[in-house]
C-alpha cells in the first residue's frame, strides 16, 4: 500500500520566495496533519484537517503560512514570503477514523531558506 507521499523531498530557495509543499495522504484517511521538525523545537503540529476542513490551525506560526486541502487526496502548505527561520523538515501525516487512531507520516520535505 502506498504511504503518505510528500513532494518535493528537498527544497532550497532564497529568502522572500514563495514555497509550496505538497502532500498526498493515504487513500481513505480522513485526517491530515502538517508538522514542522527542528532540532530546537522538535515536532510541532502546524495545522490539521478532517474531511478536507481545517480544524485547528493554532500551530501555524504566522500569516505567512497557509494550508489548503482542496480534496481528499491532496493538501498544500505554502509559505509566502519565506524567511531563513522557516528552514526545517516539514512532515505530512494522515490517519483514519474518528478517535485516536495512529498517524502515518510521509518522509518529509527538507526546506532550506537562504
For another protein, the closer of residues 68 and 110 by Cβ is 110
Q: How far is the CB of 23 from another protein (least distance, A)?
A: 11
CA gap 32, 43 in Å, rounded: 15
CA gap 24, 21 in Å, rounded: 11
Q: How far is the CB of 31 from another protein (least distance, A)?
A: 6
For another protein, the closer of residues 17 and 51 by Cβ is 51
Interface positions with another protein (CB under 8 A) = 4, 31, 33, 41-43, 45, 48, 50, 55-56, 91, 93, 95, 100, 102-108
62-66: Cβ within 8 A, 24+ apart: none
Three-state secondary-structure class, residue 103:
coil
Q: How far is the CB of 16 from another protein (least distance, A)?
A: 27
Q: Do 7 and 22 touch, CB atoms closer than 8 A?
A: yes
For another protein, the closer of residues 48 and 65 by Cβ is 48
Amino acid at each position: 500500500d502506498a504511504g503518505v507521499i510528500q513532494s518535493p523531498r528537498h527544497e532550497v530557495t532564497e529568502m522572500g520566495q514563495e514555497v509550496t509543499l505538497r502532500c498526498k495522504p493515504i487513500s481513505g484517511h480522513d485526517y491530515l496533519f502538517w508538522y514542522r521538525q527542528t532540532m530546537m523545537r522538535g515536532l510541532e503540529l502546524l495545522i490539521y484537517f478532517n474531511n478536507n476542513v481545517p480544524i485547528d490551525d493554532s500551530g501555524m506560526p504566522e500569516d505567512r503560512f497557509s494550508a489548503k486541502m482542496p480534496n481528499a487526496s491532496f493538501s498544500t502548505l505554502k509559505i509566502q514570503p519565506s524567511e531563513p527561520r522557516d528552514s526545517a523538515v516539514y512532515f505530512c501525516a494522515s490517519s483514519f477514523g474518528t478517535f485516536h487512531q495512529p498517524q502515518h507520516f510521509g518522509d518529509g520535505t527538507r526546506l532550506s531558506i537562504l
